[in-house]
Structure 1
Amino acid sequence: MYKVFVNDRPIILTSSQNKVNNFPVYILKNIVLEEIIHKLKSKKIKGANLYTPDLEKCWLELLATFHKVSAAGGLVLNPKKEILFIYRANTWDLPKGRIEDGESIEETAVREVEEECGIYNLKLIQPLTTTYHVYFQNGMKLKETFWFLMTSDYQGTLIPQLEEGITQVLFKNKEEVTLALQNSYKNIELVYDTYLNL
């Protein structure tokens, strides 16, 4: 199963015929993807299941239909196992950013976390997951974000990258994370759930 979000509303690509939600089911080969995206964007439907018997092949074909923008970021733990969050556009998020030419995804993830949060001593532990969401800026684009689990014992002051619209950078404990996720993105919930299931 793969998920792509359109304004926090999921397109679920699946090879399973078991229905696990209340979203309409479409046969992938019979649909026009832009029409489904429009229905999600205009809030006519809350989500969509796209069924295909050949999941991996169709997922690669689906990705190829988009102009893709790749990014990388991190879920950062401090020694107390608190998680580093940023606050941007009135929403709690995890630090991430676009991959620059010549950079590996790991280098991007570390650089973006450092730049957005003013944090150092980052240690990359392992890949977590990859998330996907559609956004509209000079046409329709698909943002693919590679997420990594990181740790840092940095004790200095965290400095939000104001020029990127970030106004707060905070480590949050479990209760605070639960609250933050009520004002976050579905992709961030996916990253956090992946971390919890390690």
Structure 2
Amino acid sequence: MYKVFVNELPLILTNKVSETANGEYFLLNQESIQTAIKSLKKKKLEEAYIYHPNHEEILKKFTQEIPLIVAAGGVVTNVKGKVLFIYRNDKWDLPKGKLDKGESIEDCAIREVMEETGVKELRIENFLKTTYHVITNNGTYTLKQVHWYAMSTEYEGKLKPEKKEGIVKVKWKGPKKIQKALQNSYANIKILFEGE
């Protein structure tokens, strides 16, 4: 099962027919996928399901219908145990960005965190998870796949928001402030902090 977010609402790619509660099923073809995404964007549905019997094939077939952008980012912790957040588009987010041609996903994650926040001396601790969300790119729906890594740093220098990427603030946040930030964040970001 894959959870793809469309305007914060889940589009679930599944090989099980029994998973639907208050959503609607759609077939895995261009027309059905477009209808499912539009229904979620307009909030006509709370959730939608795309069904395909083969779990291994479902994401591959979905990305044949909707172009895929691969990105990577980090949940960065400093020596004080605080987590690095960015503020963009009136929401708290985590630093991430698009994979460059020929770049490894780990290198992309480190580069993007450095570019968006100014934080250096980053070390990847471990892979966290992959999240998915649909964005509109020049009127076309695109699936953004983000590979998230837990990172640590001893950097205590100045934080520099990457203004040309629309980032207006970069902040280190402790547990209480993280909870507050997550109230004004994205579903994909909240998932990274579940169970903590």
Is the TM-score greater than 0.5?
yes
Q: CA RMSD in A?
A: 2.0
User: Equivalent residue for 1:43?
Assistant: 43
Per-residue deviation, 1:108: 0.8
Opposite residue 36 of structure 1, the aligned amino acid is A
User: Equivalent residue for 1:183?
Assistant: 184
Opposite residue 145 of structure 1, the aligned amino acid is V
Per-residue deviation, 1:22: 2.8
- Alignment partner of 1:32: what SS? helix
Once the two structures are superposed, residues 79-109 of structure 1 have per-residue CA deviations (whole angstroms, 9 ceiling, x without a partner) of 2221110001110000011111221111111
- Where in structure 2 are there 5+ consecutive unaligned residues? none
User: Equivalent residue for 1:172?
Assistant: 173
Structure 2: how far apart are the matches of 1:59 and 1:185? Answer: 22
1:159 equivalent in alignment to 2:174: no
Opposite residue 120 of structure 2, the aligned amino acid is Y
Per-residue deviation, 1:169: 0.7
Sequence identity percentage = 42
- Note closer, same or farther for the CA distance 1:153–1:21 as it changes in structure 2 (3 Å cut): farther
Per-residue deviation, 1:32: 1.2
Alpha carbons 2:28, 2:61 under 8 Å: kept: no
Per-residue deviation, 1:28: 4.8
- Alignment partner of 1:158: what SS? coil
Structure 2: how far apart are the matches of 1:142 and 1:52? Answer: 18
- Alignment partner of 1:109: what SS? helix
Per-residue deviation, 1:69: 1.3
Alpha carbons 2:182, 2:189 under 8 Å: kept: yes
User: Equivalent residue for 1:128?
Assistant: 128
Structure 2: how far apart are the matches of 1:73 and 1:114? Answer: 10
Mean Cα displacement is larger for which, 158-167 or 55-64? 55-64
1:150 equivalent in alignment to 2:155: no
- Alignment partner of 1:183: what SS? coil
Structure 1: how far apart are the matches of 2:76 and 2:20? Answer: 32
TM-score by length of 2: 0.91
Structure 2: how far apart are the matches of 1:21 and 1:169? Answer: 39
- Alignment partner of 2:155: what SS? coil
- Alignment partner of 2:183: what SS? helix
Once the two structures are superposed, residues 145-164 of structure 1 have per-residue CA deviations (whole angstroms, 9 ceiling, x without a partner) of 11111001111111111121
Mean Cα displacement is larger for which, 112-121 or 133-142? 133-142
Structure 1: how far apart are the matches of 2:2 and 2:38? Answer: 19
- Note closer, same or farther for the CA distance 1:77–1:53 as it changes in structure 2 (3 Å cut): same
Count of residue pairs brought into register by the alignment: 195
- 1:42-121 maps to which residues of 2 (within 5 A)? 42-121=42-121
- Structure 1 runs (4+) greater than 6 angstroms displaced: none
Mean Cα displacement is larger for which, 80-89 or 58-67? 58-67
Structure 1: how far apart are the matches of 2:15 and 2:103? Answer: 34
Structure 1: how far apart are the matches of 2:92 and 2:47? Answer: 23
Alpha carbons 2:36, 2:48 under 8 Å: kept: yes
Structure 2: how far apart are the matches of 1:66 and 1:51? Answer: 15
Structure 2: how far apart are the matches of 1:59 and 1:112? Answer: 25
Structure 2: how far apart are the matches of 1:69 and 1:49? Answer: 21
